[in-house]
Amino acid sequence: MIVYRDGRYQPQAATATETADGVFTTLRLYQGRAPDLAAHHARLADHAAQADLGAPPPVADLQQIIGDLVDRNGLDRSDHRLRIALTRGLARPVLAVEPGRLPTELSLWQRMGIGVITLAADCRRRVTPHLKTFAGLTPPRATRAAADAGCPEALILGEKQQLLEGIYSNVFLVSDGVLLTPPDSEPLLAGRTRQLILALAPAAGLKARTQHLDPTDLQRTAEIFLVNAVREVVPVITVNDRPVGDGRPGPVTRTCQTLYRGHLEALEPGR
């Protein structure tokens, strides 16, 4: 895969942004289009400013780079993930734009749902948890624990046993038809897709709010789903091998899947 780094297009193996001091955003390319790029650019700029990294290039310049990467890699016939990173250079910020493949089982997860486990507070992000930084990535042991349990995701608890987020995602519970997600005041990364679900829900007649949640809420809820910009909306059908509701993706989750995809399809093509 060809990537962009510091003004050059080069093979992906030549990059090493994972260990760099910087911020990033991850989104999904829909057959070469990045319809929600403007919102992701705005968050990247905000987080870069808070991390004293300077500003990313204008969104139009990013759009040109993405278009070049789509053409160089032939990405216009299928969906891909895309990471945009701004890292600290010697004299100025360094921009890296890196396309990658989606999880091979993603469409199955979206249709059938997934199982998750809960992880203790020692697996939470401890460094600038509200910013999307490389330093603030979830510890690798969280990913290993989920993989060892045969789960593509896990839910992370805080020091007070409060529910925070997933390894890669934000979490929503459905109780009496109301969408619930942990508040921004908790040490979590409030993602762009979470923001959209909260904003789109009223149009479908759904109530949505943020509130404190804990493991007992996971046992009582009718539905659980996880959201991020790459995986979109993924139903959770078991938690620690215990079924959620009737053990199948629920109607509110399905509604949110449709709402989110419909919103993206209504945006400008982005290329």
Sign, Cα dihedral of 216, 190, 230, 144: negative
Please say if the pLDDT value at position 14 is more than 80: no
pLDDT digits (tens, 9 = 90+) for 27-86: 999 999 999 999 999 999 999 999 999 899 999 999 999 999 999 999 999 999 999 999
Which residues belong to CATH 3.30.470.10 in the chain?
2-100
Please say if the pLDDT value at position 25 is more than 80: yes
268 or 229: which carries more pLDDT confidence? 229
Helices (H), 102-220: 106-112, 140-148, 192-200, 215-220
Tell me how far apart the alpha carbons of residues 1 and 194 are, in angstroms, rounded to a whole number: 29
What pTM does this model have? 0.94
Which residues belong to CATH 3.20.10.10 in the chain?
106-266
Residue type, 52: D
pLDDT confidence of 143, banded at 50, 70, 90?
A: very high
Provide φ and ψ at 158, rounded to 5°: -90, -175
Q: CATH for 2-100?
A: 3.30.470.10
pLDDT confidence of 90, banded at 50, 70, 90?
A: confident
Task: Give 100's contacts (C-beta < 8 A, 6+ positions apart).
Answer: 1, 12, 80, 81, 82, 83
Please say if the pLDDT value at position 271 is more than 80: no
CATH superfamily, domain at 106-266: D-amino Acid Aminotransferase, subunit A, domain 2 (3.20.10.10)
pLDDT digits (tens, 9 = 90+) for 167-177: 999 999 999 99
